[in-house]
Structure 1
Amino acid sequence: MLAALCDREGNQTNVEVSGTGGLDDPVDDGVICVDGIYYVLDPGAMAARVVAKNELNSTYQGRIIIPSSIKVDGREYTVKSIGRRAFAACMELDKVFIPKTVEVVEKRAFESAVIDDIEIEEDSQLKVIEDYGFMFFCKNRGQVVPDHFRLPEGLQEIGVRAFCGAFADLVIPSTVWRMGDLSLATNIKDLFLKWKRPVNTPLNILELSGYNDVDYKGSMCPTPVEIHVPSGSLPTYRLTKPWCFFSLDEMPVEEATIYADIAGLRYRLRGNKAVLLPPNEGQYSGDIVLPETVSYNGKEYKLVRTEGAFNNSKVVSVAFPSSVKYVVDDFKYCMELQTVTFPENSRLRFFSAMEGCPKLTEFVFPASLQVLYGNSMMYLDGLKTIDIPGSVSYIGAYTFVKGSLTEVTAHWICPPKMLPNDVFITKSNPRIRVPVGAKKYYEASDAWNKFEIVEDETVEAFVKV
């Protein structure tokens, strides 16, 4: 069905809102349809709530421009909220426009929806995003939500796991006073906090671990995010959990993003930091030595992150500088890759996605590494041994999968908590070398006790200071 709606400039637009169900799907009691969008009315408050056609079937697809008000039987109702599961699991949404009159996005309103574009109107009156409210995905995986997805000043509450998808920028307004567990546990590149003094927030607000079980609450997996705070507030944030665990600076959200090709490599530049990207055309090849800093238009930028730069490329070797903190989805199906190196003074914290590199026979993680994200070392048939530094506090699910590991050296006395049975799924169970006195702790762990645990006096125990 095509409904004639008006966009925010007042121009009439044909908007496809027919959905996954047929036209004969039943409409729930109390639900009305106006121009292809379903509502429940509150006559006392003269308010309307956007809902699904029925509890079993969200039928929206295409471009959905929610109006600020609707007329029913000659009476005007203001659209005040987006109801529970209104757009849940809608897989073909091109755009959803949320008018400024909406005050509440209810629980699971967009859960598991797949959306190209979502926009909140300027001067929005949005006050509450309930649990899982904006837990949608981007239609084109790897693409970020458009820049105009902005949380408005005046927003007060953000619920549990409120967001999913990927964000280039996410700005938390100064008016927010309550945030739920894992409320920002998603892929955010730059997070801007507007509080001069941080409010109390859950310690797991930015975790990616997905561990809801009590047994795994200690396994913190922070997102590879850069956090930016108001001018003059940096000392306070550096003393406040959980923010003190992350990279912090005072870059304003208005700082422009520049894309530049420098010495044969492509970068995203912002503030004083550089991110290495894949080239616009073709692939990187041969031996790559990444610089610690790059200069552009007279300004110097420090390389802190790489993002998918070498996937499906013909690189033979990559040497990282000490400045890089995050290696994100970088080495998938590099068929010629033989070596990847980090300097002794490396500041690497987060590593993910090395997959299908058959010629890689040796790999050494730097001693600074904290997070080995899930699926990080898959289908590496040439890699027989690996040394995991004791600085690693989180190892994700399916980290070492379908490879040929025969030996793993682990430097913890007490290993970090992991989901049992799914970290090492290899062609043969590797032997685990551990420090003297550590064997009993590994044998007490469901994640490790299926392997042969061998104490080795040459394995140096990691002691956190």
Structure 2
Amino acid sequence: MKQLYLKTMLLLMMCMVGTTAFAYDCEVDGIYYNLNNEKMTAEVTYKDYDYNSYSGNKTIPESITYSGQTYSVTSIGERAFSGCSGLTSITIPNSVTSIGERAFWYCSGLTSITIPNSVTSIGKSAFAGCSSLESMIVESGNTVYDSRDNCNAIIKTADNELLLGCKNSIIPNNVTSIGIGAFSYCEGLTSVTIPNSVTSIRDYAFTECSGLTSITIPNSVTSIGIGAFSYCDGLTSVTIPNSLTSIEPRVFKGCYRLTSITIPDSVTSIGMEAFFNCSGLTSITIGNSVTSIGDDAFLGCSSLTSVTIPNSVTIIGYQAFFNCRSLKSVTAHMENPCYISESVFLINKGDLPPYYIYTTTTLYVPEGSEELYRNTNGWKLFQKIEKTTSITTAKREAATPAVNYSFNGQQLPAARRGLNIIRMSDGTVRKVMVK
């Protein structure tokens, strides 16, 4: 069903571009091309309306002859081989300088790829969904990309950003960023070690890596992009570092095997749909610095039995805990409750009434704040509001240095002479000059 869905979506995306975009100019030895008669160049493309144009072993020539004219093959166009699950190998000549977006998207039979030294441009998600890839090599002499340290990955040399990886990739110690969709749809990836040199994991970097069971994110990482680990449905545990200040939208959406999450005190916001449909989640610890919980943040966390909201929270978004049907207790530390909509704790299941949580779950609030909650929109829907003397307003401890960085972003074991960037224990960042 998944493969049929993906092929259907691919065909729809192609149709949205318009019929003229699919018309190839010629076919030579089983490969389709668009021709540029001014530059006398050819671009590899796909057959009209066919999302599975190629299979078996394909060798792209350096040049083709058509109607008595010779054209140099300089590019592989967008989606040229997309959805070609029967493609088992591809040979790219040294005449090719660019590989377009999604050029080999979901070529699930492809086991290896060699990027010639002539290629200077690789589009987004060029090899996304190539779940059988075991080897990714950039030929030596390429001025833009490399595969340093036999890493089985493609790295952008100037930025030290890992652009594309496969199930056998090893992230080198000098990589500073894991790129957008770098391991997306890499179902064969079962484990990965992120070195301390990495400071950012970009959008959808590991989305749908269903074989990944656990991940430790080092304290060097200061940003994790939208949907970075979404739909990693084999993921059972994850360590979130205290170097993060925000949980971005959809980061762990659909990770239904996650059982517990601890959000450190450095984090100030939880984005929309961050833990959407994490149905195996039984416990969450929300750090004391979180001020906002986004729309649908924990929607569908049906195994969650209790939740504690720290006194730092001032915003709880629409349907933040919608369909958390197992909730038995909600503990709110805020002495002055923020407004919430009635949808926050609603149920939308056929076997339970919509207001089930409000009628069966106990809301625990600071002593002396009971009446405030009983008169505040959203909270007043709870039929059981009880005080608890165990809730005290947490006093923030004085911030202490947590992680040291040089001015260019390199993590340091300790502050050194000159300008230092220091991330404090409360999540703030300071510039400190050491003489």
**TM-score normalised by L of structure 1:** 0.47
Query: Higher Cα Rg: structure 1 or 2?
Result: 2
Name whichever structure is richer in strand by fraction.
1
**TM-score normalised by L of structure 2:** 0.49
